[in-house]
Structure 1
């Protein structure tokens, strides 16, 4: 079966307003619309880097006991966790250069 959801554990974790730490989560594969919708957002138009925040909030389906993951949730992550999620997103969606290179080496010429 084709895997579309992937579990992860944040290095530090998201600390909510009540002091609860959320580290384990699930990210689904991105769809084209997940990368298109943020381009229409005024926050992305004024700061293109904000697209990452919106995309991650769309593809993270679970984070600890949170009911939903919003852009505000992603904004409040520690920097190392944001970096981890960005790299994880690239990895599961096969956007990492090393994955592309390793695929080339395993295919016959």
Structure 2
């Protein structure tokens, strides 16, 4: 294998800012998310919950790609629904970044000092699945 080729990374560890609090009061912050597949992006579109409320698409998508969250045995839509808003936003951002959907930022430089920084574009803040 040539030096430039590295194995495809399909799973990414994360740590939630606040954490998911289960029914017993245990806080789960460590987890992992895998890359999304075409099926992950398409299958929620026939889910009745998404048809009734398109904003629910992000909840379904995250429940499909989160492979681990602390000691929670199964991460399903009900778990994702119970996340704090900051944790949900964190996971949505992670989903966009690892799946290469974060193209809404443009690099700009200050004309005075030359400092470079990222500027959010008009598509930033969109819902998951709306690439």
Same fold (TM over 0.5): yes
Aligned pair count reads 101
Structure 1 match to 2:66: 60
Structure 2 match to 1:82: 88
Q: Does 1:96 align with 2:119?
A: no
* Structure 1: gaps spanning 5 or more residues: 103-109
Structure 2 match to 1:18: 24
Structure 2 match to 1:5: 11
Quick check: which one's strand share is greater? Answer: 2
- Output the CA distance in 2 between the equivalents of 1:43 and 1:77: 18
Structure 1 residue 97 displacement after superposition = 1.5
Structure 2 match to 1:107: none
Segments ≥4 residues shifted beyond 4 Å: none
Q: Normalising by the residue count of structure 2, what TM-score does the alignment of the two structures yield? A: 0.74
Q: CA 1:42–1:6 in structure 2 vs 1: closer, same or farther (change >3 Å)?
A: same
Q: Whose RCO is larger (CA < 8 A, sep 6+)?
A: 1
Structure 1 residue 98 displacement after superposition = 5.5
- Output the CA distance in 2 between the equivalents of 1:61 and 1:21: 17
Q: Normalising by the residue count of structure 1, what TM-score does the alignment of the two structures yield? A: 0.89
Larger radius of gyration: 2
* Structure 2: gaps spanning 5 or more residues: 1-6, 108-131
Give the CA RMSD over aligned residues.
Answer: 1.2
Structure 2 match to 1:47: 53
